[in-house]
Amino acid sequence: MSRINTTLRSKKILIDQFAHQGLKTLALLSASFIFLIGSVILVKGLTPFLTDNDGLGRVGLIPFLTGNVWLIGPTFQSSLYSVGFLIITTLYIVFLSLLISFPVGVLTALFIAKIAPKKLAECFRSVVEILASIPSIIYGLFGAGFILKIVYQMSQLVGVQSKGGNSVLSTVIILALMTIPTITTVSEVAIRSVDQRLIEGSLALGASFTQTNFKVVLTAAKSGIFTAAILGVGRALGEATAVSLVAGGRRSGLSFDLLDTTATLTTTMLEGMKESQGLDYNIRFSVGMVLLVVILITNFLLNLIKRKVGKIHVK
Amino acid sequence: MKKIIGCFTLILALLLTGCSRGLFNEDAKITVYTRDTTSGTRDGFMNGIGFSEAAKQDDLLVSGFLIKDNTAILNAMTIDEYGIGYISLSSLTDNVKGLKLNGVIPSEANVLNDTYDLKRPFMWMIRAEDDYPSEAVELLVQAFVAFLNTTDAGDIINNAGAIALPSSTTWDSIKNDYPITAEDNHLITVRFGGSDSIQKVAQALTQAFSAKAGNFIAEHDHTGSGDGWKRTNGDSKDQAEGKDVGFSSRNFTSAELANVNATQTGQLAWDAIVTIVHNDNPIENITTQILKNIYSGAYTLWSDLPETD
């Protein structure tokens, strides 16, 4: 009897160990992809700065990061690339889109989590989840087919001739539409998990539901809401396909004009990628490197702010 | 609340009136659309309007131009009444207006009879007789060149966006003249190169032809029209990058043709480009000179354009 027990137990331990090792290998494998991707981008992206690019000359790091023209001189024959203005417009566009998507997203989440009746909330929740899973190219097609037209006609009404609607404004609208579902889903979870005792305490002290929702619930959930904003910024910074369909492909000059054409780091990487070669191809990896650094820095800064503001504990 | 609703109705009403077609404002700025510098269509267009410097260089173009791809330019001309752009002739639809060039209507017929100017020939060139890696490669190349003149190849060329030369021969009716195509050739590699603008067409052609010719391996390495001659009959033909078939998206120059037999070269297709504007734009005809002035920024308003009809 006891012999059977021992073999059973050792068999159990064996299976446990086996599963443990197997999962560990898988986890290591998926984690190692970041090194693989990182090193490929790094090696390709550093080539333009380290070699003479088949006689075109080395790309200077400082001019690359500060310049105001994507490429001076003919493609495939010049090494005078720069992304300075693109870094700034990228951040500018993401900031503007967050200005729209953040309040809309968070307030939608508040409604779904706290105010809407159960059935309505369920319905809205699934709609937002569907929105979050729509591929970016669909947003892009919507933008090219609809937003461009609206922005073009609106700008005509105010007496400005926009360039077919291709503008900062269209880009911002598309990015806001894309990030609202992300922000809503994540902040809804944060709002729902606010400690019920806090809310009851507030109500017991005589605060109205609206006061409680805005002053207690949102404050208590701010750490989670901030995470939502960070994810939204991440999605907006990395978006290429949809943006390239409405941005207009600006190649030089920093412009903050809402109705002027624009470009971001990602759209510049994407445009012409398929037909490119040599330095013009490698430089896109360098832009990718810059984009990764920009994303890392923004995430770091946002996390820093989050730690500063999000003191209240949220379960 | 009433005010908000009022505002919305006003905006909606304004939008609807905005949708109804207004008059074309001659004093509006021209919005210039272009492909990006890696595009073969841009290369063909800029060379065609005598502005070849701008084929690969963005800073020579009028400031404030837009970069879009073929479909996006087509789509933009349905929205932007004051835009001008160019697309490959095969993608022209009724939603936009294709402009006459120097008085000639952009149509397939006018491309084939050589009256429409904004086009370039797609040429092929093969190595000299007995100058191939093996006899099998030579026979396959001859079969491929014959295939280019068939209706089968014509369909593929038209599908890939170019305009095939007229033909009434089918591949089935001539394939018996090329017994090599009935053999198993899956170990034989044929090297294709030259113009990168033709790469898409060439790859579609070799993919279809390989299946008809014993599954030979088609190796594509397209580096530019200059290498169409250089790597088949020029300096580098016997080096590692040498090619069996070279393509060029322009006519071969007389210098290139000096050491080449007439049977070693020919045309497979035309690539035509059409200038497009919004349907509301009253302009019907344009000249290459005006196009150059628009793209270089000499003309910035529609009223700057001289009468051409």
Tell me if chain B has a CB within 8 Å of the CB of A280: yes
The pLDDT value given to residue B11: 59
Do B79 and A163 lie within an 8 Å CB cutoff? Answer: no
Do A144 and B72 lie within an 8 Å CB cutoff? Answer: yes
Task: Say which range, A69-78, A170-179, A223-232, B112-121, has the weakest mean pLDDT.
Answer: A69-78
Check whether B234 has a pLDDT greater than 80.
yes
Tell me if chain A has a CB within 8 Å of the CB of B182: no
Tell me if chain A has a CB within 8 Å of the CB of B40: yes
Q: Which residue has the higher pLDDT, A202 or A77?
A: A202
**Tokens 């967050």 belong to residue:** A98
The pLDDT value given to residue B205: 94
| Chain A residues within an 8 Å CB radius of B72 | 144, 245
Tens digit of each residue's pLDDT (9 = 90 or more) over A145-185: 899 999 999 998 888 888 889 999 999 999 999 999 999 99
Q: Which of A251, A269, A270, A273 is nearest to A260 (CA)?
A: A251
The pLDDT value given to residue A76: 82
Q: What is the mean pLDDT of residues A213-233?
A: 91
Helix axes A118-133, A168-192, angle to 10 degrees: 130
Q: What is the mean pLDDT of residues B271-283?
A: 93
Check whether A40 has a pLDDT greater than 80.
yes
Rounded alpha-carbon distances, angstroms, from residue A259 to A70, A145, A169, B74, B221: 20, 17, 6, 21, 42
Tens digit of each residue's pLDDT (9 = 90 or more) over B62-82: 988 998 888 889 989 999 999
Q: Are B274 and B96 in contact (CB under 8 A)?
A: no
- Strand, coil or helix: A76: coil
Q: Which of B107, B29, B34, B40 is nearest to B73 (CA)?
A: B34
Do A75 and B38 lie within an 8 Å CB cutoff? Answer: yes
Mutate to test the interface with B, among A246, A275, A279, A281 (most CBs of B within 10 A): A275
The pLDDT value given to residue B19: 47
**Prediction ipTM score:** 0.77
- Strand, coil or helix: B121: strand
Instruction: Name the pLDDT band for B3 (thresholds 50, 70, 90).
Output: low
Do A249 and B67 lie within an 8 Å CB cutoff? Answer: yes
* Backbone phi, psi, residue B275, to 5°: -85, 130
Instruction: Name the pLDDT band for A309 (thresholds 50, 70, 90).
Output: confident
Dist CA A234 CA A247 (whole Å): 19
Q: What is the mean pLDDT of residues B18-45?
A: 80
- Strand, coil or helix: B214: coil
Do B196 and A74 lie within an 8 Å CB cutoff? Answer: no
Distance from CA of B304 to the nearest CA of A (A): 17
pTM for the complete prediction? 0.77
Mutate to test the interface with B, among A170, A271, A282 (most CBs of B within 10 A): A271
Task: Say which range, A8-17, A204-213, B3-12, has the weakest mean pLDDT.
Answer: B3-12
Mutate to test the interface with A, among B15, B21, B37, B60 (most CBs of A within 10 A): B37
Residue B79: which of A165, A253, A274 has the nearest Cβ? A165
Tell me if chain A has a CB within 8 Å of the CB of B80: yes
Check whether A314 has a pLDDT greater than 50.
no
- Establish, for the pair of chains A and B, how many residue pairs have beta carbons separated by less than 8 Å: 89
For β-strands B31-34 and B66-67, DSSP reports them as: parallel
The pLDDT value given to residue A311: 61
* Average pLDDT over chain B, rounded to an integer: 88
Tokens of B142: 């001859």
A115 secondary structure, DSSP code = I
Dist CA B211 CA B205 (whole Å): 10
Q: What is the mean pLDDT of residues B27-38?
A: 89
Instruction: Name the pLDDT band for A108 (thresholds 50, 70, 90).
Output: very high
Tell me if chain A has a CB within 8 Å of the CB of B99: no
Tokens of A77: 């024959």
Dist CA A180 CA A178 (whole Å): 6
Tens digit of each residue's pLDDT (9 = 90 or more) over B171-210: 999 989 999 999 999 999 999 998 887 888 999 999 999 9
Do B76 and A148 lie within an 8 Å CB cutoff? Answer: yes
| Chain B residues within an 8 Å CB radius of A245 | 72
Residue A164: which of B19, B31, B53 has the nearest Cβ? B31
Do B56 and A148 lie within an 8 Å CB cutoff? Answer: no
How deeply is B101 buried, as exposed, middle or buried, from its count of CB atoms within 10 A (0-12, 13-18, 19+)? buried
Torsion region of B220: left, alpha or beta (phi above 0 gives left; psi -120 to 50 gives alpha): beta
Beta strand residue intervals within chain A, DSSP E: 71-72, 80-81
End-to-end CA distance of chain A: 48
The pLDDT value given to residue A253: 86
Tell me if chain B has a CB within 8 Å of the CB of A153: yes
Tens digit of each residue's pLDDT (9 = 90 or more) over A47-104: 899 888 878 888 888 999 998 989 888 888 888 899 999 999 999 999 999 999 999 9
